[in-house]
Amino acid sequence: MIKIELKDGSNLEIEQKMSILEVAKKISEGLARVAMTGKVNGEIKDLRFEIEKDCKLEILTFNELEGKKAYWHTTSHIMAQAIKRIYGDVKLTIGPSIDNGFYYDFDKEKPFSDEEFSKIEEEMKKIIKEDLPIERFSLPKEEAIKLMEKEPYKIELIQELPEGEEISFYKQGDFVDLCAGPHLMSTGKVKAVKLLSTSGAYWRGNENNKMLQRIYGISFPKASELEEYLNMIEEAKKRDHRKLGKELDLFFFDETAPGMAYWMPKGFKMMNILIEYWRKEHEKRGYEEFSGPQLNSSSLWKTSGHWDHYKEDMFVLTDVDGNEQALKPMNCPNSIKIYQSKLRSYKDLPLRFNDVDVIHRNEKSGQLNGLFRVRMFRQDDSHNYIMESQIKDEIKDILEIAKKFYDIFGLEFILTLSTRPDDYMGELELWDKAEANLKDVLDDICGKDNYRINEGDGAFYGPKIDIKMKDCLGREWQMGTVQVDFQLPLRFNLSYIDKDGEKKTPIMIHRALFGSFERFIGILTEHFAGAFPTWLSPVQVKILPITDKQLDYAKQVKSILMENDIRVELDDRQEKIGYKIREAQVEKIPYMLIVGDKEIEASAVGVRNRKEGDIGQMPITEFVKLIKEEIENKKI
């Protein structure tokens, strides 16, 4: 008898081995119809995978990201099959699923045009209608190379695989692709498909390799879901932070500094408001801010392990004395040097060093994406040094801060546990201990199994909790991270004196909550479509005199607002009031104060809100009270 523990904690017993799909049918025919793939003891498997021994099993549908990814991965193969049918001489490379759909890279001399999309989509629909069974098989290396003899990129991938490793393929009709999976059971399971865009992409992301042609696409089980997604894409284009950043005079990018933003005064004002809020909230909780060098000797990075694991993503240079240096891509080694500056006691712990220093990462030019992927940014970092007994409480406290930060912007909070990667550093026993600690915290906060597990996606020095959020369009964003690190304290010989007088090694928690201020501002710009909450807006009030006769009074109003720490501008141009209002509305100013003769007589202002429009005349003191309350409560 084989015992299967299901997601809800119930058990199912089967007499002999069964595929995941057969188990799903045993649970419910309806579940089997919508099943995409399965998770067996935490590992994603095809529905065709056979269960032969006791295990934990979760049936994944399109509602879960892993289910979506299997669906989208299959659609990428359908697209590749369609393109091979239409353009027989095209060479295949890779076609993974991504968090929002899929792509496939092709070696094709002439770039794909948008006009060709409809032809490719039509062929994809034929393949879907054919409902071709998708079969998985494996071959030894020599036979695998022979099978792929007309696909040089596939051969390159096969040749790099270790001897004895399983080399798996997926076949659908006349199409065969080298692939680890997982995939759906047949092409007919895919319903609504749309190809979205095309771009160039270097083979394996290396600019020294050949430029390939990449096609992005999306698919859904229902046409209505596809239509909803395409509407969201159109709305996202209107909210593009790069476009709004220029229009609202916040920031821009220039070829003189790829991947590094030029912050305009208004944008930098907003950056500083966010930093100051972050700073005050951390001071309340005993965090101590420090600043470290931008440039460090390679010896520091070698000790930390970054030199071996991260060097290609660092800006490396040689100083005038011939010494190898690197611009820091993260702050943890500098934080460690601060910790090492004096003897530490158990009474000092937890010791929390936070900083907002600028860091640099040598991202490939093709991966740069506005504020979302940059080469220079300010990470809202902290490195917390604790005893093992303090792990649970410290992580809970960190997640409470994170929740407060996201709640003030109305952002949904999603937690994911990322476990040991293949290139992990250190002892397996310590990794297991760290992962167990994080699971305990997440079980307490979220409830058992009510959080995601991302197998193999931890940092090389420790597992982590990733914090994701959903914006107003339903898009998920990777935001903060909380990482438990047993390794770096050992590599740097960190210690504290315990209450028994013995030296002990602290545990280090790496954590960033916004991720980076740049990226977070980019996300907020799109989430709010540039109409930021009043407390964060670089300009909170714009005073609009109707004519020059009201300028003196308008200046008095401005002085009163400035004395109350309200950020204000005066539009003293000789323009019609309607034009001034429209411009202020386009600039997404939270409040406009109209000043005419009636307002002067009443010692008042005409108040206009960007959302509600005209809300009437009120005394200036009353308006000051209204807006200060909104700012202090951080209303959205």
CA atoms within 13 A on the CB side of 383: 21
Compute the distance between CA of residue 265 and CA of residue 270 in angstroms, rounded to an integer: 9
Whether 381 is a known active-site residue: answer: yes
Whether 383 is a known active-site residue: answer: yes
Compute the distance between CA of residue 371 and CA of residue 507 in angstroms, rounded to an integer: 32
Annotated catalytic residue within 177, 355, 381, 571: 381
Tokens 């093992």, residue located: 388
> Taking the CB of residue 578, how many other CB atoms lie within 10 A of it?
8
Annotated catalytic residue within 45, 360, 361, 420: 361
Tokens of 130: 């054919």
Compute the distance between CA of residue 295 and CA of residue 298 in angstroms, rounded to an integer: 9
Return the bridge partners of 470, or none.
412, 476
Whether 174 is a known active-site residue: answer: no
Q: Reduce the DSSP state of residue 608 to 3 states and report it.
A: strand
> Taking the CB of residue 478, how many other CB atoms lie within 10 A of it?
14
CB 497 within 8 A of CB 240: no
CB 133 within 8 A of CB 173: no
Q: Which segments within 108-165 are labelled E, that is strand?
A: 134-139
Annotated catalytic residue within 379, 483, 540, 550: 379
Q: Which segments within 61-210 are labelled E, that is strand?
A: 91-92, 97-98, 101-107, 134-139, 167-172, 175-178, 192-202
Q: Reduce the DSSP state of residue 416 to 3 states and report it.
A: strand
Distant-in-sequence, close-in-space partners of 355: CB < 8 Å, separation ≥ 6: 289, 290, 291, 292, 331, 334, 335, 381, 382
Whether 361 is a known active-site residue: answer: yes
Annotated catalytic residue within 154, 510, 527, 610: 510
Tokens of 234: 């159109």
Annotated catalytic residue within 325, 332, 360, 610: 332
Annotated catalytic residue within 154, 464, 542, 558: 464
Tokens of 348: 């000092």
- 188-201 b/e (C-beta count within 10 Å ≥ 16 → b): ebbbbbbbbebeeb
For the chain, the maximum distance between any two Cα atoms, rounded to a whole number of angstroms, is: 92
Tokens of 189: 């399971």
CB 610 within 8 A of CB 562: no
Compute the distance between CA of residue 583 and CA of residue 577 in angstroms, rounded to an integer: 10
Tokens 């792929």, residue located: 148
Whether 321 is a known active-site residue: answer: no
Annotated catalytic residue within 69, 84, 328, 383: 383
Q: What angle do CA 463, 469, 471 make, to 5 degrees?
A: 160
Q: For residue 86, which of 43, 54, 116, 60 has the smallest C-alpha distance?
A: 116
State how beta strands 351-355 and 295-297 pair.
Answer: unpaired
Active site residues: 332, 361, 379, 381, 383, 464, 510
